[in-house]
Chain A
Amino acid sequence: MYLETPEGIYLALRPAGLPVRVLAFAIDLLLRAALLAFAGAAWLYLGKFGLGLASISAFLLLWGYMVLFEVLNQGRSPGKQIMGLQVIYSDGTPIDWSGSLIRNLLRVIDLLPFAYCIGILCLLNSARFQRLGDLAAGTLVIYEARPTQRKSLPEVTASPSARTLTRNEQHALLNFAERQQQLPKRRSEELAAIIAPALHIEPAQAVSGLYAIARSILGLR
């Protein structure tokens, strides 16, 4: 799914599907149960004072937990944060009080008749994985964009390709070189062997030959 910004840039968003959201919810549920047990203990040990404390915290955990975390922690409840998810408005802006309140109050309907049946059906039936609460609030749950460490290209001496490459071909070669750490050695050899003849490279040095071309495309030495 792409979001067009006012600057004319297309940003890729990845809406999160059912399994990962169920996991995030389960984590939140466990956490809330643990906190509630704490509050219950306060009731046992502190008497009436603890009872007031316990009932207020039960209320906060039931209605306020998701809203508070989503608004104050960039759209991430602890479960979502662990699973790398984030709630945003569908126009890409961060979630605020009203959006979060709507989507979490309408949970009451999504969880009907049991175990979030309505929410799950609605989510699976929508192109952007929105449950009823999300539809009403205009919100999305997406995979959070996490910063990645860029890998440097393999150290070989750059040498230009023997024939002129189109832009798509250059792009493919660059991506091949950048993925060197993710690909097993045998697999990169297999891939390189397919295109080596077309670029007039010795099959024996196919991989390093492609790396050399990639470096020259980038403008490295």
Chain B
Amino acid sequence: MKQAHFETLQHSTWQTFAKKVQALDKGHAQVEHIQSFAQDYRRICQHLALAKQRGYSEALIEDLQQLVWQGHQQFYRHKSPALERLLSFIIVDFPSTMRQQWRCIAVSAVLFFGSFALMAVLTRLFPNLIYHLISPAQVAHIESMYDPAQRLLGPISLRNHQDDWVMFGFYIINNIGIAFQTFASGLVFGLGSAFFLLFNGLHIGAIAGHLTRIGYGETFWPFVLGHGALELTAVVMAGAAGLKLGAALIAPGAFSRVAALRAASTVSITLMGGAIIFLLLAAFIEAYWSSSNSIAVAIKISVGCGLWLLVLIYLLFSGRIRHAP
């Protein structure tokens, strides 16, 4: 068959398909656009194969290739409904990935909480140790934030109450930024993540030890306990995600380093997704609950402990039974 004849025969098929693809691209597809999309797509693939085999002109082949490419972009994708995916991520995917990756989590947790505890104890024994890590001006600033005489606690105490939501934004940016850094620097063979875990652990440990020593413990601990359940675990998760990347590069096993990295990064991004959700919740709690000094200490501590318990139960048990979607 001559090319001109072929083109006149099939021209209308190509034009309707192009219209369908455009409608789908712009997101206002009607039922008639979706009907017979698969058949049309395959037919055009066949036309392309024919055109190549019969040696039709390059311009026609390019046009058909363009159509096939647009159809391919619509037809094949990694996608499913957003809300359903989010729910299944929170209930099943994330906690089960956490349990599956318990080794990375354990290493990350030991690095972070270990350095935290060590520094907290050391600061109580050697009071001057904190000044090696944090400048005296900063220490004074931190002390003023947790002064029991304050109406509001934490970084928020330096501002007015109606600025709660400003601080909410500040916490989110600050904490998620730190989590992203901790994760991404894991690509340097895990060293970056380990560094940030240790650094943050030592830093917070020093502050905790110092404030407890000078008698601000009764404001500091209830403050930290509430959102710490989410925030500190999120830091551990981000660290574990980074360590996972590093581990894939150091010991790729039976894969090439690139393939191992790609496999590890899908796991890591699941952990990071969980960490981001945790940090959003933590920022909310920190801005609206932890910082208030009018709530009785006993209530704050019991709610804080309750939150830790909830987080542990969630991470240990959620999604063990997979329901049909």
Chain A residues in contact with chain B, CB under 8 A? 5-9, 11-12, 48-49, 51-52, 55-56, 58-59, 62-63, 74, 88-89, 91-94, 96, 98-99, 101-102, 105-109, 132, 135-138, 145, 147-148, 150-151, 167-168, 170-171, 174-175, 178, 217-220
CA separation between A163 and B55, bound complex, in Å? 18
**Chain B 168-189 residues near chain A, CB threshold 8 A:** 169-170, 172-173, 176-177, 180-181, 183-185, 187-188
CB of A96 within 8 A of CB of B176, answer: no
Q: Which of B57, B73, B76, B177 contacts A218 (CB 8 A)?
A: B57
Q: Which residues of A contact B78 (CB under 8 A)?
A: 89, 93, 96, 98-99
CA separation between A37 and B176, bound complex, in Å? 23
CB of A106 within 8 A of CB of B184, answer: yes
B72 sits at the interface (CB 8 A): yes
Binds A, one of B127-135, B140-148, B264-272: B264-272
CB of A59 within 8 A of CB of B177, answer: yes
> Which 8 A-B pairs give the minimum distances between C-beta atoms?
A219-B2, A52-B166, A108-B184, A219-B4, A7-B45, A174-B57, A59-B173, A136-B265
Q: Which residues of A contact B170 (CB under 8 A)?
A: 52, 55
Best-buried of B2, B46, B166, B185 by chain A (most CB within 10 Å): B166
Q: Which of B65, B76, B181 contacts A92 (CB 8 A)?
A: B76
CA separation between A173 and B188, bound complex, in Å? 55
CA separation between A194 and B285, bound complex, in Å? 80
Interface of A is mostly: helix
Name the distance in Å between A136's Cβ and chain B's nearest Cβ.
Answer: 4
B3 sits at the interface (CB 8 A): yes
Q: Which residues of B contact A219 (CB under 8 A)?
A: 2-5
Given A11-B65, A136-B245, A218 contacting B181 (CB threshold 8 A): no
Q: Which residues of A contact B58 (CB under 8 A)?
A: 171, 174-175, 178
Q: Which residues of B contact A101 (CB under 8 A)?
A: 269, 272
CB of A175 within 8 A of CB of B57, answer: yes
B10 sits at the interface (CB 8 A): no
Q: Which of B3, B55, B70, B184 contacts A109 (CB 8 A)?
A: B184
CB of A132 within 8 A of CB of B272, answer: no
Q: Which of B25, B42, B63, B266 contacts A7 (CB 8 A)?
A: B42
CB of A178 within 8 A of CB of B49, answer: no
* Sample of 10 more A-B contacts, CB < 8 Å, known A55-B173, A94-B77, A98-B269: A5-B76, A49-B166, A52-B170, A58-B173, A92-B76, A102-B269, A148-B63, A171-B57, A218-B3, A219-B5
Q: Which of A8, A12, A105 contacts B49 (CB 8 A)?
A: A8
Q: Which residues of A contact B49 (CB under 8 A)?
A: 8-9
B158 sits at the interface (CB 8 A): no
Q: Which residues of B contact A102 (CB under 8 A)?
A: 265, 268-269
CA separation between A48 and B181, bound complex, in Å? 28
Q: Which residues of B contact A167 (CB under 8 A)?
A: 55
Given A108-B181, A109-B185, A135 contacting B165 (CB threshold 8 A): no
Name the distance in Å between A91's Cβ and chain B's nearest Cβ.
Answer: 8
